[in-house]
Amino acid sequence: MEVSEVTAGHKIYYINLDRVPDRRFFMEDQFRRSGLTEVNRVSATDASREGSLDSAGYVPGSGSRWGLTPSEVGCFESHRRIWQKCVDLNLNAVAAFEDDVELSSEAAHVIRKLLSCPEKYDYVKLDYSPRKRRFGAAEEFCGVSVRPIQEMISSAGAYVLSNTGCRKLLTWSREYSDHLDDFITMPRSNWRMFQCFPAVCVQAVLSQLEAVSTIKCSERLLDKSINSGLDKGPFWFRVRRELKAGQRKLYWRAGGEARLLRRGGYVGIVPCSDDLKV
């Protein structure tokens, strides 16, 4: 399978830094093994390059965090490029991957099904997260089992977005100061977000997959020059942030979780496809 750089009309994209070819080869192999074809590589925004973040939408304090590292801004901008491609090419939906994702043998089938019914969702998370989280009652989109996401959930390694979802994210992120995964899974009244049940992808750092060190350990995160100097903001901002977090915890403890379970919800760690070992 040849993975193209830019091909109009294709709906599957992965993000990769030009200077980390090992990860490109890894993802090409994963797509080949899974049977996904017509995949586009998107050159990631490299925060270590002078001027690469000059036009970024990061504005301290505009979101749930005050400061982001250059590496985090670069990651956000890289994903934003995929959302923009979906809109510019007028695609109905896109599947987006980071470059360290192991795919289940079920991934291709699930992704194709989800891409065929974008009217059902804004966002569907495909990958696994190791922390206990809360989800709504099970639903089915084109034969794919999903559950509504009820709170922010870590990892944005693999997901599907409808064109409508891309447009919403682009509008909301004209200014931002959130980690990418927090931003995407932030509960909003007009944001239809779901988790694929079971997850059909997992980031290599969470997997038992044997891989070279550049796959298991992010070169981007090891670079101190783009991962230091984090500003947590003024005292009033930090207090407000803690109060909001406390309110969310209180809601779940004061009956919110029990009500969710009575309605068929799920509280726990997302299960994985049988062939993914975490």
Say which CATH number the domain at 56 has.
3.90.550
Is 277 among the domain residues? no
Strands, E, within 153-223: which ranges?
A: 158-162, 193-196, 201-203
Asked if 48 and 65 touch (Cβ cutoff 8 Å), the reply is no
Give the global pTM: 0.92
Beta bridge partners of residue 146, listed in sequence order:
139, 196
Is 271 among the domain residues? no
CA dist., res. 219 & res. 147, Å (int): 33
Asked if 92 and 120 touch (Cβ cutoff 8 Å), the reply is no
Average pLDDT, the chain: 91
Plot region of 90 (φ>0 → left; ψ -120 to 50 → alpha; else → beta): left
Is 206 among the domain residues? yes
Joined tokens for residue 134: 């809360």
- How many Cβ atoms are within 10 Å of 237's Cβ, its own excluded? 16
Is 235 among the domain residues? no
Is 20 among the domain residues? yes
Residue-wise pLDDT for 146-202, tens only, equals: 999 999 998 999 999 999 999 999 999 999 999 999 999 999 999 999 999 999 999
Q: Specify the pLDDT at position 228.
A: 72
- How many Cβ atoms are within 10 Å of 268's Cβ, its own excluded? 10
Is 78 among the domain residues? yes
**pLDDT greater than 80 at residue 212:** no
Report CA torsion sign: 57, 59, 64, 66: positive
**pLDDT greater than 70 at residue 3:** no
Please state the domain count of the chain.
1
What range does the domain containing 67 cover?
12-230
Residue-wise pLDDT for 121-145, tens only, equals: 999 999 999 999 999 999 999 999 9
Asked if 145 and 195 touch (Cβ cutoff 8 Å), the reply is no
Is 6 among the domain residues? no
Is 269 among the domain residues? no
Q: Specify the pLDDT at position 272.
A: 95
Q: Specify the pLDDT at position 231.
A: 86
